[in-house]
Structure 1
Amino acid sequence: MACADVDMDIHDEDDRHRGGQREQPVVRYYQATEMIPDKKGPLHDLMQKHPAVLGSLQMVSGLLSIGVGIVFAATQEIHESLFSLFRVSQLSGSLFIIAGIVSNLLFKYPALLSVCLTVNGGCIIVAFLAVLLISVDLAKWDPQNEDHLRQMEILELCVLGLEVSLSAVLCFWFSKEKRAKNK
């Protein structure tokens, strides 16, 4: 460990005495003559909107979607609905988890901007296909089936609506930033 023997007292070298009286010391202040703006990092304007928060919401809604899909798959035969046959909930949920992770990584790796835009756009397309499949299931609903399964499909529709709205906002922000970056 380094050690130094340095006198830490304040010594006034400008002690000026005028006929036995001490002069007042000259006080000097620093004043900037030119304002230098802070250096903005890459994607500064986008990061002010906090896309990581929406990415985290995407991950949570993706986990909820996967959970609904697992419960639905455990309580219903696979051939009874398109929802369970195509594993709609698990597929859309896993894609939204990936989109949320990529959106969160954007802060650390700004080069992922185009990947984020592509993944979120793909999530919107998959979610619309999932909504179509669930809508067909609900239109062909057999009254003999249990009512809680229909309610779970409606819950999945609500979760998909949330996921699509999150991805749409993120796609708008990412495309706006990408256009500004290319100019």
Structure 2
Amino acid sequence: MACADINLDILRADEESFSMNKEELPLVQEYKAVEMVPEVKGPLHNLLQKQPAVLGSLQMVSGFLSVGVGIFFAVTQEMHQSLFTLFRLSHLTGVIFIFAGVVSNLLFKYPGLLPLSFGVNCAGIIAAVAAACLIIVDLADWHPGNDEHLRIEVLELCVMGLEVFLSAVLCFFFCKEKRAKSP
């Protein structure tokens, strides 16, 4: 709620109205605020202006997509066909990014979750980079005849790139907020 220090002096529209009798006085009056009192900023105000909840929601959606791709690969491929299926990489990264998105969405209500959100986003970046390296190894050693799996692995690689980008942006915002809070 905004507050103001208001000057309550009444300004009249006409100076002639002082010379007129009381019945003919115009009723034009106005109040002007002299000085605005600044609004008290809450914790993480600057960070919350950047809408981390939107990026967190995008993280959750991409995490659900990763889990869905992982389920598809688990159902359609044998374990020894690829490292992607063997290590259940998309399940791992998907769950991490769903959790990171939930924590980023909760920052508005619980500002104390900032260190946890930063840690989960850093863990997501590390897991996604490791998973991307294993997917690239899979793509380099690909056997012809499984083109639909190849396309889906490339899709998962792009989704992981998006997840890493979102987490990097959030980590940048979190670091900036931490530096602003420290004296």
TM-score under structure 2 normalisation? Answer: 0.83
Task: Show the counterpart of 2:15.
Answer: none
Q: Given the alignment of the two structures, is residue 101 of structure 1 paired with residue 105 of structure 2, yes or no?
A: no
Alignment partner of 1:74 is 2:75: yes
Judge conservation of contact 1:42–1:110 (CA < 8 Å) in 2: yes
* Alignment: residue pair count: 163
- Equivalent residue letter for 2:68: G
Match for residue 49 of structure 2?
48
TM-score for the superposition, normalised by structure 1:
0.83
Question: Could you report, residue by residue, the CA deviation over 1:36-83 in whole angstroms, capped at 9, with x for unpaired residues?
Answer: 111111111111111100000000000001111101111000121110
Pair 23,159 (structure 1): closer, same or farther in 2 beyond 3 Å: same
* Alignment correspondent of 1:34: 35
Which residue does 2:7 correspond to in 1? none
| More strand by percentage | 2
> Residues 70-105 of structure 1: CA distance to partner in whole angstroms, max 9, x if unpaired?
011110001211101110001000100000000000
Report sequence identity in percent. 63
* Cα separation, partners in 2 of 1:153 and 1:30, compared to 1, 3 Å: same
| SS of match in other structure, 1:116 | helix
4+ residue runs over 2 A deviation = 20-35
Which letter maps to 1:82? L
Q: 1:153 to 1:24 in 2, by over 3 A?
A: same
Q: Alpha carbon RMSD of aligned pairs, Å? A: 1.7
Identify the residue that residue 165 of structure 1 maps to in structure 2. 165
Change (3 A) 1:28 1:79: same
Higher CA-based Rg: 1
Matches within 5 A, 1:1-183: 22=23, 24=25, 29-143=30-144, 145-183=145-183
User: What runs of 5+ residues in structure 2 fail to find an aligned partner?
Assistant: 1-20
Q: How far off its partner does 1:33 sit?
A: 3.7
Give 1:25 deviation, angstroms.
7.6
Secondary structure of the 1:35 match is strand
Gaps of 5+ in 1: 1-19
- 2-structure distance, mates of 1:162, 1:102: 18
